[in-house]
Amino acid sequence: MTDELDRSRALASTTDCALCGKPLVYAADSVARVCDLCGTEQTTMIFCPEGHFVCDACHGAAAMNVVRRVLATTTSCDPVAILEQVMAHPALPMHGPEHHAIVPGVLIAAARNAGAAVPDGALETVLARAAKVPGGWCGYYGACGAAVGVGIAVSVLTDATPLRGEQRSLALAATSQALARMVDDQPRCCKRASRMAVEAAVEYLREHLAIDLTAGEREPCAYTTRNAQCARERCPFFGGSEQRR
Ligand SMILES: [Zn+2]
Ligand SMILES: [Zn+2]
């Protein structure tokens, strides 16, 4: 806990390089880098042009503390509202693999609050599984981590394993439906992807698992000015005006 708080304090930017604020490089090949915060050597395709590197675990350390707290205490049955609440926290980076965990976490919290049968420890299970889906997964591997997050939520809710055919197929179909909505010819936006994933999940859970979650109205996106690659009018969540942050 102390370690995580100390690491969180080192983050100078939640939009670009966490250490110096320069826009990150998304390279075509991987390089070896040592995390400036925890000292772990890793290969990565995402790094700062100044030589800085912050690993995924350190990148999300502060944010995930916030996410855990919100998801544990929220009483809302509306995953759209919970998602916006979590994403609006100042500790949360504009983009990053934290969103892969937030999506299933939000879905499990809303399902729990709606009185659905949620297995014991489901929240921690989805957060732990999603933590293994690295940043940049969409463009580098062809599956957005937020969509995979929907599959993780359905897997945990149905107790799926690779050997349980029906449950496994439910999880695969959930990921597939969320992923299909993200094919838009635009650069990644983790806010857009998370919103798409949660909207797809609300429909999927209702149709296939009889879990009926309230889904609030879309609100105009407030992240345009923080997102250098914002798709603006080509994004269904674009707010249409200059943003509050
Ligand atoms: Zn830097
Ligand atoms: Zn690290």
Ligand nearest to the CA of 33: 2
Q: 11-23 in b/e burial notation, b at 16+ Cβ within 10 A?
A: bebbbbbbbeeee
Q: What's the CA-to-centroid distance between 224 and ligand 2, angstroms?
A: 28
Residue-wise pLDDT for 115-131, tens only, equals 999 999 999 999 999 99
* Residue 146 pLDDT class (50, 70, 90 cuts): very high
Residue 19 C-alpha to ligand 2 middle, in angstroms? 12
- In angstroms, the CA 110 to CA 79 distance is 5
Counting ligands in written order, which one lies closest to the CA of residue 15?
A: 1
- Residue 139: pLDDT band (50, 70, 90) is very high
Ligand 1 center from residue 111 Cα (angstroms)? 39
Cα of 38 from ligand 2 centre, angstroms: 4
Domain positions in the chain are 2-58, 77-209
pTM of the predicted model as reported, rounded to 2 decimal places: 0.84
Quickly count: other Cβ atoms within 10 Å of residue 135's Cβ.
25
Q: What confidence category does residue 190 fall into, taking pLDDT thresholds of 50, 70 and 90?
A: very high
Does residue 10 register a pLDDT over 70? no
The answer to whether the CB of 126 falls within 8 A of the CB of 152 is yes
Ligand index nearest the alpha carbon of residue 47 = 1
Ligand 1 geometric centre to CA of 18 (Å): 7
Q: Residue 95 C-alpha to ligand 2 middle, in angstroms?
A: 17
Sign of CA dihedral 26, 222, 21, 190: negative
233 Cα–ligand 2 center, Å:
36
pLDDT of res. 149: 98
Q: Residues 145, 100: contact at Cβ < 8 Å? A: yes
CA-wise closest residue to 93 among 185, 153, 8: 8
Q: Which ligand is nearest to the CA of 46?
A: 1
Alpha carbon separation from 133 to 8, 16, 33 (Å, rounded): 21, 20, 19
Cα 55 to averaged position of ligand 2 atoms, centre (Å): 4
Q: Are strands 41-47 and 25-34 parallel, antiparallel or unpaired?
A: antiparallel
- Could you list the beta-strand ranges (E) of the chain: 25-34, 41-47
